[in-house]
Structure 1
Amino acid sequence: MARLDYAVNALGYSASLGRLVGLTSRGHYWWKNPSHVVLIDTKGVVNDLGPVEAQWFRTDDVSAGAVVGTTFYVRDTARLHAIDIDPASPTYLRIVRTVVLDWPAMMLDDFAVNPVTGQLTGVSAAGWGPGEVVSFDPVSGRLLSRTEIPALPGKSTYGAVIIDAAGTIYAINNGYQGSSRLYRITGTTAVELSTGPQMGMIDAAGCLPNPMPPRVEPPAPRPEVPVPPAPAPPVPAPAPAPVPVVQQPPPPPPAVTTPPASVPPQPVPVRAARQRPEPREELPVAAETTPMTKSRKWAIVTVILVMLGAGTAAARARG
């Protein structure tokens, strides 16, 4: 539980933001300053997102709210405003759509998103009969269904409504017979669960998830101790190059000549015995019987030599 210094109304729960979403005039006079959108965590810490960008919009007539995705729906009398709460959207904190609600949806003091149907659902006590479960379309504002619940008291407002994952409705009546009363509604049956002091203003935002576990601080980092560099591994010596092995061709097989079987062996001739040389006999020189004598032969030779000398002299004279 947390105590705030200002009033917050139209509470809803945003699963994407993990916070409660509401409207407040924190730090401003509600009759002349715009409403602010705030986020509230489970410990009551408030984050003011800023004013809604609509100067005419005030919180004095706002009485119900719910979040569908990144759209914050709030009821302002008979009108339903759709406020963009997506921080990444160009229309952030602007009213992107306004529709007029059908009767009796315009009399709901709170509503919630039904996870089974996707509709907005609340409890109405308008009229003289018992309370009614009322569902409507948030886009068009049209009434979709209304069901009387005999066990729900009428003529009193239901300022807090939530719906669980199974579609069961939980509603708080602000004051019936001097007490605020909590009811569980299933189908057309309502069961009173508890009572408390009568309240003039009450709101609910939804079934919140279980509390987050406490944050565990990481251990302090240990002082860094310089680590000596690891020794470089020894460089292996280069392996010697392998000696090429030259393979010698195998020696040719010895030639084997086989004489043809059809040729008979030839007989080896027998050499005759060498005889002893006889002494050479001197043959008698016979006298010249030709008409050319020795003197005449030398005369012919002399003539030939003279002719050769004359020829040589003539050749020199010409050169």
Structure 2
Amino acid sequence: MDYAINALGYSAALGRLVGLTSKGHHWWKSPSHIVLIDTQGVVNDLGPVDAHWFRTDDVSAGAVVGTTFYVRDNARLHAIDINPDSAAYLKIVRTVVLDWPAVALDDFTVNPANGHLTGVSAAGWGPGEVVSFDPVSGRVLSKTEIQDLPGKSTYGAVVIDAAGTVYAVNNGYRGRSRVYRITGSAAVELSAGPQMGMIDAAGCLPNPMPPRIEPPAPRLEVPPPPAPKSTSVPTPAPTPAPAPAPVVPPPPVTTTTPPPVSTQPVPVRAARKKPEPRKDLPVEAETTPLTKSRKWAMVTIILVMLGASAAAARARG
């Protein structure tokens, strides 16, 4: 490009590089515009930062956490909202003062493990330091002195990978720009080239870069249907357990004492009287109309019938 863009960062949500530029804009109106850049160098101008006092003169570092664009402006850290769906779009939503030595970082990057910002400071007379700080409060959380990193020079490009390895570019040490890989408290120089005056880095980008994500159209919020009324059956009250039957003690066993045996002699019963002979009752004269002759006739008829029955039984046999 034929103009400068500073404070580069990478937005995974937008799929583009994010930076600040004042190219083609009048400084007395709004000199600081936020732009999106793809890997082919195509620039999309989002518009000015919504703060008339904001300038890019002292901006030297930037990074994106989610949809918040963090920019170091001298000793202050500004948080700019770049969410297209937000009511605070392109506005500075927070400003904090940085601790030392975060104020001396010429670039920082987002640590994917914890969301902190990490850079390399070369302030002072000693070796370089890896510095991590909280972007919300500006407080320095850790700083580690690396003996193999040269001091008294600027590290204008810093990135970090998913494993936590830091890669930093020293703008000019002994007349050369040098690339270092930092792991823990050790640093290794990877390459060196012609000294550069102004450099920046945006992060370890995916390859290929994802297509640009357009902000979605607002959706009509449809209220959810009312929840059906619950037809819960009341839980029946527990039936009390029947009271135990009272224990009736057995009736006391009474021992019946036999009556005392009398020692007096049992009286002898008097003998019965001598039985008298039975007297026959006088037979009265028959007074029924059935005479003796008629009685015998009936007896004869009965005998004849009995005899005939016997004969018939023998004939059948």
TM-score, with structure 1 as normaliser: 0.65
Percentage of identical aligned residues: 83
The letter of the residue matching 1:52 is: V
Kept in 2: contact 1:160–1:204 (CA 8 A): yes
CA distance in 2, matches of 1:25, 1:185: 34
User: How far is the alpha carbon of 1:33 from its aligned partner?
Assistant: 3.5
The letter of the residue matching 2:160 is: I
Among 71, 82, 98, the alignment partner of 1:85 is: 82
Mapping of residues 212-291 of structure 1, within 5 Å: none
CA distance in 1, matches of 2:87, 2:29: 26
* Residues 30 and 149 (structure 1), Cα distance of their counterparts in 2 relative to 1, 3 Å cut: farther
* Residues 32 and 212 (structure 1), Cα distance of their counterparts in 2 relative to 1, 3 Å cut: closer
Among 192, 197, 203, the alignment partner of 1:195 is: 192
User: How far is the alpha carbon of 1:30 from its aligned partner?
Assistant: 4.5
Match of 1:211 in 2: 208
The letter of the residue matching 2:118 is: T
**Which protein, 1 or 2, shows the higher relative CO under an 8 Å CA cutoff with sep ≥ 6?**
2
- Where structure 2 has 5 or more consecutive residues not aligned to the other structure, the ranges are 212-317
Among 111, 127, 131, the alignment partner of 2:128 is: 131
* Residues 69 and 211 (structure 1), Cα distance of their counterparts in 2 relative to 1, 3 Å cut: same
Kept in 1: contact 2:39–2:209 (CA 8 A): no
User: How far is the alpha carbon of 1:191 from its aligned partner?
Assistant: 0.3
Among 69, 72, 83, the alignment partner of 1:72 is: 69
Which protein is bigger by CA-based radius of gyration?
A: 1
Match of 2:157 in 1: 160
Q: Say which SS state the counterpart of residue 106 (structure 1) adopts.
A: helix
CA distance in 2, matches of 1:84, 1:142: 21
* Residues 32 and 87 (structure 1), Cα distance of their counterparts in 2 relative to 1, 3 Å cut: closer
Kept in 1: contact 2:59–2:73 (CA 8 A): yes
Q: Say which SS state the counterpart of residue 103 (structure 2) adopts.
A: helix
Kept in 2: contact 1:112–1:120 (CA 8 A): yes
List, as ranges, runs of 4+ consecutive aligned residues in structure 1 with deviation greater than 6 Å.
Answer: none
- Where structure 1 has 5 or more consecutive residues not aligned to the other structure, the ranges are 215-319
Mapping of residues 280-319 of structure 1, within 5 Å: none
Match of 2:46 in 1: 49
Residue 59 (1) aligns with residue 56 (2): yes
Kept in 2: contact 1:31–1:60 (CA 8 A): no
* Residues 32 and 13 (structure 1), Cα distance of their counterparts in 2 relative to 1, 3 Å cut: same
User: How far is the alpha carbon of 1:5 from its aligned partner?
Assistant: 2.1
User: How far is the alpha carbon of 1:117 from its aligned partner?
Assistant: 2.5
The letter of the residue matching 1:126 is: A
Kept in 1: contact 2:29–2:52 (CA 8 A): no
The letter of the residue matching 1:195 is: A
Match of 1:122 in 2: 119
Among 4, 7, 16, the alignment partner of 1:7 is: 4
